[in-house]
C-alpha cells in the first residue's frame, strides 16, 4: 500500500499588509514544520494554492520567526521542502481521491484568499467526505469560511470545536485595526459566523491544537508541528 498523501495548502495572496510596508503571504514555519512532520512520518506531501503561486510573509522570515535548523532547511535549495515547493500545483491538477489529509497552512494572506478559494475548499470537502482529515493552523481556518460538509450540506465547522489565531493575538501584534480597515474576518469571527465552538489557549503564543473527529486545528506558528501530529493521529483513528 502506498503511503498516505497530504495536500498542504498555501495562500496565494502576497501583497503589502503590514504598516511598515512588508508583504504578507505564507508564514514560513507554518508550511515548513508540517511538511517536515509529515515527511518524517513517511507521508508524501504535495503543495497546492488556489492560483498555483505563492509568496512569503516577510515578517515570517525575520530572525525571531525563522532560525536554527528551520532557517537551514528553508534556505537549502535542495532540501525536500524546497523541491516539493518547486512542484506546487493548482487545484485543477489535483485529484482529491489521492489524498487523506488536507492541511491549510497560514499567514495573514489566508484571510484574503482562503474564503474565496472555492477550488481549494472543494478539494478539502471531498477529502473530508472520503473519510480524510481536514486540518488548519493559525489563520488557516479562514478556509472554513464557505466550506461545506458534502454529506450534510451544512458548514463543515457547524457544531464543531475549533481553534485558530486569537483576536487577542491580533491586538498584541497591532493588526486588529488593519483587519478592520480591510474588512477581514478573524478566525474567531468565522467560528461565530458558522456556529462552531471556538476554544482559546491560555496565552496567544502557547502551543495549542485540538481534534474534533476528522477536524484538526492549531492556534499559531508554535502549534504547526502539534497540529500535523494530531492530523496523522486523527487519520489513524
Query: How far is 188 from 79, CA to CA, in rounded Å?
Result: 35
d(CA 188, CA 192): 6
Of 33, 59, 108, 139, the catalytic one is: 139
Query: Out of 50, 170, 188, 225, which one is annotated catalytic?
Result: 170
**What are 1's three cell numbers?**
500500500
Q: Is 8 exposed, middle or buried (0-12, 13-18, 19+ CB in 10 A)?
A: buried
Catalytic (active site) residue 93: no
Contact criterion met (CB below 8 Å) for 27 and 221? yes
C-alpha atoms less than 13 angstroms from C-alpha of 167 in its C-beta half-sphere: 12
58: annotated active-site residue? no
d(C-alpha 140, C-alpha 209), whole Å:
13
Annotated catalytic residue, options 30, 59, 108, 138: 138
End-to-end CA separation in angstroms for the chain: 18
138 is catalytic: yes
Question: Which residues carry out catalysis?
Answer: 138-139, 170
Amino acid at each position: 500500500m502506498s503511503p498516505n498523501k497530504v495536500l498542504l495548502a498555501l495562500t496565494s495572496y502576497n501583497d503589502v499588509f503590514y504598516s511598515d510596508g512588508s508583504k504578507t503571504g505564507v508564514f514560513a514555519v507554518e508550511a515548513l514544520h508540517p511538511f517536515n512532520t509529515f515527511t518524517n512520518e513517511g507521508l508524501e506531501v504535495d503543495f497546492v494554492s488556489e492560483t498555483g503561486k505563492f509568496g512569503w510573509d516577510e515578517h515570517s522570515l525575520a530572525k525571531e520567526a525563522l532560525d536554527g535548523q528551520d532557517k537551514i532547511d528553508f534556505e537549502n535549495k535542495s532540501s525536500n521542502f524546497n523541491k516539493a515547493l518547486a512542484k506546487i500545483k493548482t487545484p485543477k491538477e489535483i485529484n482529491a481521491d489521492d489524498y487523506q489529509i488536507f492541511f491549510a497552512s497560514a499567514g495573514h494572506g489566508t484571510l484574503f484568499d482562503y474564503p474565496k478559494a472555492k477550488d481549494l475548499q472543494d478539494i478539502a470537502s471531498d477529502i473530508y467526505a472520503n473519510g480524510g482529515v481536514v486540518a488548519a493552523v493559525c489563520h488557516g481556518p479562514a478556509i472554513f469560511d464557505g466550506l461545506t460538509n458534502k454529506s450534510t450540506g451544512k458548514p463543515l465547522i457547524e457544531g464543531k470545536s475549533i481553534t485558530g489565531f486569537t483576536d487577542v493575538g491580533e491586538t498584541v501584534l497591532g493588526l486588529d485595526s488593519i483587519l478592520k480597515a480591510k474588512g477581514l474576518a478573524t478566525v474567531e469571527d468565522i467560528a461565530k459566523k458558522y456556529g462552531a465552538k471556538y476554544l482559546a489557549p491560555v496565552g496567544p503564543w502557547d502551543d495549542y491544537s485540538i481534534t474534533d473527529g476528522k477536524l484538526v486545528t492549531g492556534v499559531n506558528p508554535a502549534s504547526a508541528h502539534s497540529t500535523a501530529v494530531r492530523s496523522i493521529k486523527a487519520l489513524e483513528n
